[in-house]
């Protein structure tokens, strides 16, 4: 039976394959082996006889050989689907893709179930350290997230996602370790001896993910430069462009790639949770109730809330807008400190002075870890009952400085300036929702032609989809990694000095931001006229 089936497969001229690339040349012309597992072979005879040997064969590639995954009676080649996913530390996003057309049929997201073991990655790493049973817990939690998404996609489309022959996944190095049930402590701890940077192709069943075929995990380069960034390279095509481009993925960590078709420099470093609202007292994720943008109207701050509901906190894009407005209004100086000459509290007795000098919504409130009633700091009300504190501003400036210093150092390393950049990609949800002008105003983005600043969205997911549709890109991913030169920012002596210079709004050297200087003068002139 097995010999007959294999001969039939080789004698036919085409195959319904486990990915979008035809395997005819591999199987027929090269007479490659086709592996048939006993569990599949057991049903083959009955299916073939039932369909008078008119069947559709689904094959998958495990990185070495092709495997017969399923036989179906008749011609079912039109029903050819695959899955791709972005495995984020906070959110998992999955798409169901028609592999015949390349069309995304549906997209769903869930909060990563790992959150139950810690809001941040470091907490999860320490939870699993020296506890294999806890690593299994996190692995199962991760797989549970994938299973939930598969169910949601099936309900939305009517497609049985369990029959998908391939799932491609991109995520950072820690997430890959958790998905595989590996010890992730080496990602965090020097000498950074991670368990794997190039995971093998896995059977879905081995990971608790019920696809009938294989799971491909995008390879990483370093402990802090994961498969999500390599996937981003595939999505943007940066490694193949003639012009010099910058790719920045901003989150708790900042990952950076600078280069073109001739060279690729990569690096990563801690940016900080403040960029996503994580360390801000009233910070939150970009969801219903979050302030996502701030403007000035009639001399007062005006907030927009996601979902048009009552404000519960502020997310990253809202913080960037808020700081830009505070600076342009002259309410904070380049250090991010509330201007003493402008400060008058709501309790000011002189009504004339209060109206003229008071910063609207400014109060003195207890510090986060106040030891006594005297431990107070300034805070400004950006929405009803919600305040942004001086310490919040200080933290945000430090973290935005870390991200932009990485870019500045890389450009200095290759002897070029920001004016030489053809494209400046800011990937991820943060880059998608942030206002370019506000980001330039506070020095988070360079002061370059705004058309060069590109927000490509979720490049991790986009790259995973490209891998799903073109198996040859697995070799491209490996080629990109081989070309990359990694810079360890922690080992750069002048990095701290460069970062100190960037700890200002927009920068200690205002001449680097001519458009910001112009906007500042225009805002001051308009204020003086009133």
Give me the half-sphere count of Cα atoms (radius 13 Å) on the Cβ side of residue 431: 21
Joined together, the tokens standing for residue 121 give: 């990655």
Residue 3 in tokens: 């010999």
Strands 214-217 and 202-203: antiparallel
Closest CA to 216 of 203, 230, 229: 203
The pTM (predicted TM-score) of the whole model is 0.86
Q: How many angstroms separate the CA atoms of 7 and 43, rounded?
A: 17
| pLDDT tens track for 90-110 | 899 999 999 999 999 999 999
With a cut of 90, say whether residue 13 has pLDDT above it.
no
Tokens encoding 39: 């569990």
Q: How many whole angstroms separate alpha carbon 438 and alpha carbon 444?
A: 9
pLDDT tens-digit profile of 420-456?
Answer: 999 999 998 777 889 999 999 999 999 999 999 999 9
**What tokens does 351 get?**
């009504």
The mean pLDDT of 45-60, rounded to a whole number, is 82
> Rounded CA gap, 195 and 173, in Å?
10
Residue 384: what pLDDT? Answer: 94
Domains and CATH numbers, the chain: 2-73 (no CATH), 81-217 (3.30.420.480), 236-274+396-458+465-514 (3.30.420), 277-390 (no CATH)
Q: Rounded to an integer, what distance in angstroms lies between the CA atom of residue 329 and that of residue 505?
A: 13
Give the closest residue to 231 by CA, choosing from 244, 247, 251: 247
Q: What is the 3-state secondary structure (H, E, C) of 62-74?
A: CCCCEEEEEEEEC
Q: Lowest mean pLDDT of 96-110, 265-279, 321-335, 351-365, name the range.
A: 265-279
SS3 94: strand
Residue 17 in this model has a pLDDT that exceeds 50: no
- Residue 132: CA atoms inside 13 Å, Cβ hemisphere, count? 0
pLDDT at 168 over 50: yes
Strand ranges in 271-345 using DSSP code E only, listed in sequence order: 290-297, 300-305, 313-314
Taking the C-alpha atoms of residue 348 and residue 344, their distance in angstroms, rounded to an integer, is: 6
CA distance 210 to 66: 19
Provide the phi-psi class of 270: left if phi over 0, else alpha when psi is between -120 and 50, else beta: beta
Which range has the worst mean pLDDT, 316-325, 379-388, 393-402, 487-496? 487-496
What is the bridge-based pairing of β-strands 66-73 and 81-87? unpaired
Instruction: Please check whether residue 432 is in contact with residue 410, taking contact to mean a CB–CB distance below 8 angstroms.
Output: no
Please state, for a pLDDT cut of 70, what percent of the chain lies above it: 87
pLDDT at position 350:
53
């Amino acid at each position: 039976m097995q010999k007959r089936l294999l001969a039939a497969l080789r004698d036919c001229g085409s195959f319904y394959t486990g990915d979008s690339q035809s395997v005819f040349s591999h199987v027929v012309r090269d007479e490659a082996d086709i592996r048939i597992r006993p569990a599949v072979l057991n049903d083959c005879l009955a299916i073939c006889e039932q369909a008078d040997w008119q069947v559709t064969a689904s094959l998958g590639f495990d990185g070495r050989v092709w495997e017969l995954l399923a036989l179906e009676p008749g011609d079912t080649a039109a029903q050819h689907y695959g899955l791709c996913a972005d495995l984020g530390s906070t959110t998992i996003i999955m798409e169901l893709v028609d592999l015949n057309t390349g069309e995304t049929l549906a997209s769903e997201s869930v909060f990563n179930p790992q959150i139950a073991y810690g809001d941040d990655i470091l907490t999860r790493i320490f939870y699993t350290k020296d506890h294999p049973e806890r690593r299994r817990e996190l692995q199962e939690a991760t797989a549970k997230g994938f299973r939930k998404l598969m169910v949601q996609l099936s309900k939305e489309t009517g497609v049985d996602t369990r029959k998908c022959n391939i799932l491609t996944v991109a995520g950072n190095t820690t997430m890959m370790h958790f998905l595989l049930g590996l010890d992730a402590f080496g990602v965090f701890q020097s000498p950074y001896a991670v368990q794997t940077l190039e995971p093998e192709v896995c059977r879905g069943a081995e990971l608790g993910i019920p696809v009938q075929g294989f799971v491909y995990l995008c390879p990483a380069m370093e402990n802090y430069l994961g498969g999500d960034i390599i996937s981003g390279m595939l999505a943007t095509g940066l490694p193949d462009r003639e012009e010099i481009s910058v790719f920045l993925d901003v989150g708790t960590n900042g990952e950076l790639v600078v280069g073109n078709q001739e060279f690729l420099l990569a690096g990563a470093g801690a940016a900080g949770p403040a960029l996503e609202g994580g360390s801000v007292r009233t910070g939150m994720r970009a969801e219903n109730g979050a302030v996502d943008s701030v403007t000035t109207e009639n001399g007062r701050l005006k907030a927009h809330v996601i979902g048009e509901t009552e404000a519960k906190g502020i997310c990253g894009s809202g913080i960037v807008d808020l700081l830009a407005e505070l600076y342009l209004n002259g309410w904070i100086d380049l250090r991010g400190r509330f201007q003493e000459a402008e400060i008058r509290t709501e309790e000011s007795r002189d009504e004339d002075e209060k109206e003229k000098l008071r910063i609207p919504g400014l109060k003195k409130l207890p510090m986060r870890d106040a030891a006594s009633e005297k431990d107070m700091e300034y805070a400004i009300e950006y929405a009803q009952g919600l305040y942004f504190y001086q310490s919040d501003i200080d933290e945000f400036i430090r973290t935005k400085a870390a991200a932009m210093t990485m870019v500045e150092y890389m450009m200095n390393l290759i002897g070029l300036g920001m004016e030489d950049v053809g494209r400046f990609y800011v990937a991820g949800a943060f880059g998608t929702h942030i206002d370019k002008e506000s980001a330039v105003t506070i020095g988070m983005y360079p002061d370059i032609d705004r058309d060069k600043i590109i927000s490509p969205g979720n490049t991790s997911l986009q790259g995973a989809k490209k891998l799903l549709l073109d198996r040859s890109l697995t070799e491209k991913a490996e080629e990109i990694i081989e070309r990359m030169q990694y810079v360890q920012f922690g080992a750069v002596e002048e990095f701290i000095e460069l970062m100190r210079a960037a700890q200002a709004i927009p920068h200690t050297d205002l001449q680097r931001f001519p458009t910001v200087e112009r906007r500042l003068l225009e805002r001051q002139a308009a204020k003086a006229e009133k």
